[in-house]
């Protein structure tokens, strides 16, 4: 079977379960992930960049967001991951996009900063957070705009990741943001203020990896 057929087979299986009855990791119950992964390997060897094939790949990547085998398959092929990032910009598969961000975020390539900036404008806050944090680690010039937009949402997790992004940028105005966050109503945000204030490492603590 090709990638389009595998996506259709998954959809037929998924249609057995009402959307309101699906739990967080429902996709892992699918019994045919093995053939999907084999199909992805074949696709990587000879990519089909047709719109239908890309939509199928992004659909399967999004459904595999818990195990992330497809993400790791793509991660071994940077040029393919970059091309997929470009072709995913108009997709509504947010769970595919944040995995693509993870694939390309640490690549040394002239197009990455721009791609992360473009991917940031997905409707999903988690995609935005991943793009902003990866951009901050890269010291991208686009990061400040992401920071301002994310901070303006007043969403707790967005604000947490703004603080960490400013920390990685070694931004001179970080203390101003920390002061505002310290006096907020959000307990987790205030906990991260303490962690950042005592932080000497540039690694990402669990508190800076909230899930949507």
In the prediction, which pLDDT does 17 show? 84
User: What pLDDT does residue 150 have?
Assistant: 98
Looking at residue 207, what is its pLDDT? 40
Which residues does the chain have with pLDDT short of 70? 200-212
DSSP labels, the chain: --HHHHHHHHHHHHTTS-GGG--TTGGGG-TTHHHHHHHHHHHHHS----HHHHHHHHHHHHHTTTT-HHHHHHHT-HHHHHHHHHHTTT---HHHHHHHHHHHTT---TTHHHHHHHHHTSS-HHHHHHHHHHHHHTT-TTHHHHHHHHHTT--HHHHHHHHHHHHHHT-TTHHHHHHHHHTSS-HHHHHHHHHHHT----S--GGG----
The domain locations on the chain are 1-104, 112-212
What does pTM read for this prediction? 0.91
């Amino acid at each position: 079977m090709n990638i389009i057929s595998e996506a259709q087979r998954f959809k037929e299986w998924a249609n057995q379960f009402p959307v309101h009855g699906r739990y967080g990791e429902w996709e892992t119950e699918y019994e045919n992930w093995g053939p999907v992964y084999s199909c992805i390997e074949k696709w990587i060897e000879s990519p089909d960049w047709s719109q239908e094939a890309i939509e199928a790949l992004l659909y399967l990547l999004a459904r595999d967001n818990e195990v992330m085998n497809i993400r790791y398959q793509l991660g071994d092929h940077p040029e393919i991951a970059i091309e997929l990032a470009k072709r995913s910009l108009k997709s509504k598969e947010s769970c595919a996009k944040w995995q693509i961000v993870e694939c390309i975020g640490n690549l040394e390539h002239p197009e990455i900063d721009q791609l992360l900036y473009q991917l940031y404008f997905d409707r999903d806050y988690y995609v935005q957070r991943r793009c902003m944090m990866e951009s901050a680690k890269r010291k991208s010039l686009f990061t400040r705009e992401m920071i301002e937009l994310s901070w303006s949402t007043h969403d707790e997790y967005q604000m947490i990741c703004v603080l960490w992004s400013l920390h990685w940028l070694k931004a001179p105005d970080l203390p101003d943001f920390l002061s505002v966050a310290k006096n907020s109503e959000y307990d987790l945000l205030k906990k991260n203020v303490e962690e950042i204030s005592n932080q000497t490492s540039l690694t990402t603590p669990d508190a800076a990896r909230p899930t949507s």
